Amino acid sequence: MRLVALIVLGAMIVGVIVTVAFGQEGSSSSDSGDAQVDWLTDTPGGPAGTVTVRPEPTVFEASGFTYPIAGGCLPQDDNLMPGAPREYRGGIHEGVDFYDSDNCVFVGIGTEVGAAKEGVVIRADHDYQDLTFESLAELEAMIEQDRRDETEDPFRGRQVWIEHPDGSITRYCHLSGIVEDLQPGDSVQQGEIVGYVGESGTPESVTDPGTQVHLHFEIRIGESYLGAGFEPDEVRSLYEAAFAP
C-alpha cells in the first residue's frame, strides 16, 4: 500500500508540473507577466545597465525588401537595430537606424529615401511642424508622467508609411522632407523616392541641430515590428533575410 501511495503521489506531482508548463507556454503575449528580460547593455538611449523587457516573439517571414537608402546595409551596432533598449521612448527600439557613421554609403541631410517594396502610401506628413523648445519640454513632461506611449509618434518626426501586398507596413521616419506630390492612396514602386533623410522629431534637432541625422526605418506587422521579442543575432538574421536579393 505504501508503494502504491508513493506512485500515486509521484503521478500527481508530475501532472502539476506539466499543467504549469503548458499553461505558461499557452498564455497570452499581451500579459505583461509573460515579458522576458533582455540583455543588459550600454545604449544611446539610457545609462549603462538599462534593462529591456522583451515582448513575446512575433513570428513573421519578411522577404523581398530592398534597402531604403540605395547601396545601404545593416549597421554593425546592435544598438541601432530593433529590440535595443531605449529609455526615452517606449523602452525598446522598433526599427533600424541608418547613420552615416555605421553604413556602407553616405547618409546625410537630403539623402534620398526609397520605398523598400511596392505598396500604397497610407501616411505622408506634409504638414509636419518641427519640434521647438516648448514642444520638446511638453514631451519630456509627458515622459515624466509615464505617458511614454503618447510621445513615440512625435519623436519619429516627419514620416511616410507604406502598406505592402503581404500585409506589412514600412515606416520612414525623421525625414527632412517628403516628395511634394506624394499623397496617401498613391501606389509606389520598389525603390521609388518617397522622402529625404533628416533628423525631425529627435530632441537634438532642437538642442544640438545636425548631430542626429539618420533614417529610422521600421517593418511593421500588425501592432508589432519585425524582430519583436528576439535576441540581437536573431533580429539581424531576420533583417538579412528580409533584404536578401
Same-domain pairing of 44 and 164: yes
Which pLDDT tens digit goes with each residue over 48-71? 444 445 556 666 778 999 999 999
List, as one string, the DSSP characters of 78-106: GGGSTT-EETTTTEE--SEEE-GGGSSS-
The yes-or-no verdict on residue 35 having pLDDT over 70 is: no
H/E stretch holding 221 reads strand 215-221
Domain that holds residue 1: 1-34
Q: How many angstroms separate the CA atoms of 68 and 73, rounded? A: 9
Same-domain pairing of 43 and 27: no
Tell me, what's the pLDDT at 57? Answer: 61
DSSP 128: -
Same-domain pairing of 24 and 67: no
The yes-or-no verdict on residue 215 having pLDDT over 80 is: yes
Band of pLDDT at residue 92, cut at 50, 70 and 90:
confident
Which pLDDT tens digit goes with each residue over 109-149? 999 999 999 999 999 999 999 999 999 999 999 988 988 88
Which pLDDT tens digit goes with each residue over 96-114? 999 999 999 999 999 999 9
What is the separation, in whole angstroms, between the first and last Cα of the chain?
A: 69
Q: Count of CB atoms within 10 A of residue 142's CB?
A: 15
The yes-or-no verdict on residue 89 having pLDDT over 90 is: no
Going by C-alpha positions, the residue among 223, 225, 200 that lies closest to residue 212 is: 200
Mean pLDDT over the full length of the chain: 81
Same-domain pairing of 122 and 226: yes
CATH of the domain at 200: 2.70.70.10
Tell me, what's the pLDDT at 180? Answer: 96
Domain tally, the chain: 2
- Torsion of Cα atoms, 231 then 57 then 154 then 39, to 10°: -30
Same-domain pairing of 93 and 204: yes
Going by C-alpha positions, the residue among 131, 37, 143, 154 that lies closest to residue 85 is: 37
Range in 29-43, 146-160, 167-181 the model is least confident about:
29-43
Tell me, what's the pLDDT at 58? Answer: 60
pLDDT (mean) for 78-88: 84
Which pLDDT tens digit goes with each residue over 169-210? 999 999 999 999 999 999 999 999 999 999 999 999 999 999
Same-domain pairing of 119 and 139: yes
Same-domain pairing of 7 and 123: no
Tell me, what's the pLDDT at 85? Answer: 80
Band of pLDDT at residue 28, cut at 50, 70 and 90:
very low
Same-domain pairing of 114 and 193: yes
Which 3-state string (H, E, C) describes 24-76?
HHCCCCCCHHHCEEEEEEEECCEEEEEEEEECCCCCCCCCCCCCCCCCCCCCC
Q: Count of CB atoms within 10 A of residue 22's CB?
A: 10
221 strand-pairing partners: 224
Q: Which residues contact 112 (CB under 8 A, 6 or more apart)?
A: 69, 70, 193, 196, 197
The yes-or-no verdict on residue 242 having pLDDT over 60 is: yes
Q: Which residues contact 227 (CB under 8 A, 6 or more apart)?
A: 58, 81, 82, 83, 234, 235, 238, 239
Same-domain pairing of 25 and 55: no
**How many CA atoms does the CB half-sphere of 193 hold within 13 Å?**
12
Range in 33-47, 64-78, 165-179 the model is least confident about:
33-47
Same-domain pairing of 2 and 120: no
Same-domain pairing of 18 and 44: no
Mapped onto helix, strand or coil, the DSSP state of residue 241 is: helix
The yes-or-no verdict on residue 164 having pLDDT over 80 is: yes
The yes-or-no verdict on residue 41 having pLDDT over 50 is: no
Going by C-alpha positions, the residue among 203, 194, 148, 202 that lies closest to residue 172 is: 194
Same-domain pairing of 56 and 29: no
